[in-house]
Amino acid sequence: MADVMGGVMRVGFVGLGNIGKPMALRLAATEGLALQVYDVAPDPVAELVAAGATAAASVAAMDADVVCVMVRDDDQVRAVAAEVPHGTVLVVHSTVAPATPAELVAAGHRVLDAPVSGGPMGAAEGSLAIMVGGEADAFDAARPALEAMGTKVVHAGPIGAGTRMKLARNLIHFVAFTAVTEAQRLAEAGGLDLVALGEVVRHTDAITGGPGAIMYRGTTAPIAEGDFWHGVFSHVAALGEKDLGFAIALADELGVDVPLAREALPRLGKGLGL
């Protein structure tokens, strides 16, 4: 909630690391927000002060409506939370264990779990995706700060929903990274330029949306044959099974281990709901 006298929302930010610092810089540059920052490292604090923020002597010394936290792990989040007054909205941007947000609520804190996606570049541009779990009134109170840092702010549901959405999103991210390493080994064995392959992947994913291109249904249930998506995904499955089959055959020929491709081949159609 904004300061009634000055019409200014008071925001605290704790944790000025690779992503936290550019997030805080976006807040410092936003009209209508008065930013206080805290970090154990003096240099990023000095940079934020130069950008217009105020340095807090400690977390407990912050006088804020909303305190955003971007620290290393669950234990650091708990340590910060212990110094935040219970009436203040505590916005946890760190990716924590699924049970941690509810534990903080049970301890009496007013919490939003709000992990982010988009990395340091998205943080610097203010274009992060921010996935938020928590009560609607707390979300509304923190929204001006969230929208200063992200262009896709999603209220995913009750407490813990933001963390669950982030973990589902990052499952895609890191399984895909593992698949990329498999594809690189196959490409290398086939005498290809791996950098050129990477350029092709980034180019085509920017056009198609990458793995997100199939994420338009509101359920993972089987698709009825008359459903529009049955035709679309039948086409996707046919192409995918053909190309996976060819890739596995090439891997066998070149002596390359491709366990993810072998797992994907029988699972693709079923996973699509066919």
Strands 128-133 and 116-117: antiparallel
**Around Cβ 88, how many Cβ atoms within 10 Å?**
18
**Around Cβ 153, how many Cβ atoms within 10 Å?**
20
H runs (alpha helix) in the chain:
20-28, 42-50, 74-81, 100-106, 119-125, 136-149, 161-189, 194-208, 228-254, 259-272
Residue 240 one-letter amino acid: G
Residue 76 one-letter amino acid: Q
Distance CA 37, CA 24 (A): 8
Q: If we measure between CA atoms, which residue out of 119, 118, 209, 101 comes closest to residue 161?
A: 101
Examine the residue annotation and report whether 166 is marked as an active-site residue of this protein. Answer: yes
Phi/psi of residue 261, nearest 5 degrees? -60, -40
- DSSP-assigned letter for residue 36: E
Q: Which residues contact 171 (CB under 8 A, 6 or more apart)?
A: none
Q: Identify the active-site residue in 21, 166, 242, 270.
A: 166
Burial of 28-39, coded b for 16+ CB within 10 Å and e otherwise, reads: bebeebbbbbbb
Lookup: tokens for 214: 């199939």
- Would you name the residues annotated as active-site residues? 166
